[in-house]
């Protein structure tokens, strides 16, 4: 697990004095959604731009946290040109018909110093429950209780066939591993 060096991992229960539900907004430019999947003996890697992320974090009660993200499938990039076209084309994500991919949490549970975020993932208009692992980081140098700027890392894996994204199944792996790195700022 690559843990950004300059960030300090936050235990979700390390509540600041002014603990309450805090709403965050996304810094879309600094945030990335990276994915990788097997391609024969190699990997296809790529990114999909984050369009929107609505987070509200409750440092007292993890179960109260909610996460909602939307991705702009039409902006997907991949490690070589054919892969990006294949990815966006009708046989995989079908970006024309389904330009958005969304995730909305339904429950959040603490798991060690991370959290398991279960929610509904919608790809190609097909919704399936998935569980992502969430970790929160605070920029290095920020005060221990300062939660105004945070980095959320969500990791997980999905089988694209569950969503009907079956193109090139003979060449490209079914399991897709996802790493969302979202830089978020407290609202207000």
Partner 1 sequence: MGLRNGPESFGLVSRLFHWLMAILVLSLIALGLRLSSMEPGLSNLWLYGLHKTLGLTALGLVLLRILWHLISPPPGPMATGWERLFIKAWHWTLYALMIATPIAGWAGSSASGIDTLYAETFVVPPLVEADETSEFVWFILHEIFAKTLLGMVIIHMLAALRRGMAGDGTLTRMLRGKA
In contact, 188 and 22? CB cutoff 8 Å: no
- Which residues lie across from 36 on neighbouring strands? 45, 177
x-marked contacts with partner 1 along 32-71 as a string, rule CB under 8 A: -------xxxx-----------------------------
Q: What angle do CA 178, 42, 172 make, to 5 degrees?
A: 65
Residue with tokens 């300090």: 8
CB of 89 to partner 1, least distance (A): 3
With CB under 8 A as the contact rule, the residue among 122, 167, 174, 177 that binds partner 1 is 167
Q: How many residues bind partner 1 (CB under 8 A)?
A: 14
Stretch that binds partner 1, among 62-70, 87-95, 110-118, 133-141 (CB under 8 A): 87-95
DSSP 49-91: -EEEEEEEEESS-GGG-EEEEEEEGGG-EESSHHHHHHHHSTT
Residue 169 in the binding site for partner 1 (CB under 8 A)? no
CA distance 153 to 3: 9
CB of 83 to partner 1, least distance (A): 9
Residue 20 in the binding site for partner 1 (CB under 8 A)? no
Residues that bind partner 1 (CB under 8 A): 39-42, 80-82, 85-86, 89-91, 167, 171
């Amino acid at each position: 697990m690559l843990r950004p060096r300059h960030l300090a991992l936050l235990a979700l229960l390390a509540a600041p004095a002014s603990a309450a539900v805090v709403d965050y907004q996304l810094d879309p430019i600094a945030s990335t959604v990276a994915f990788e999947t097997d391609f024969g003996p190699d990997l296809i890697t790529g990114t999909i731009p984050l369009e929107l992320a609505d987070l509200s974090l409750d440092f007292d009660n993890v179960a109260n946290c909610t996460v909602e993200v939307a991705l702009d499938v039409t902006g997907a990039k991949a490690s070589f040109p054919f892969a990006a076209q294949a990815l966006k084309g009708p046989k995989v994500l079908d970006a024309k018909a389904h330009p958005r991919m969304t995730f909305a949490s339904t429950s959040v549970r603490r798991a060690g110093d991370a959290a398991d975020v279960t929610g509904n993932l919608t790809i190609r208009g097909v919704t399936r429950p998935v569980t992502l692992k969430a970790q929160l980081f605070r920029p290095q140098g920020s005060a221990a209780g300062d939660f105004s700027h945070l980095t959320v890392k969500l990791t997980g894996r999905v089988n694209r066939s569950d969503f009907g994204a079956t193109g090139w199944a003979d060449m490209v792996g079914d399991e897709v591993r996802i790493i969302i790195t979202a830089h978020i700022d407290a609202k207000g």
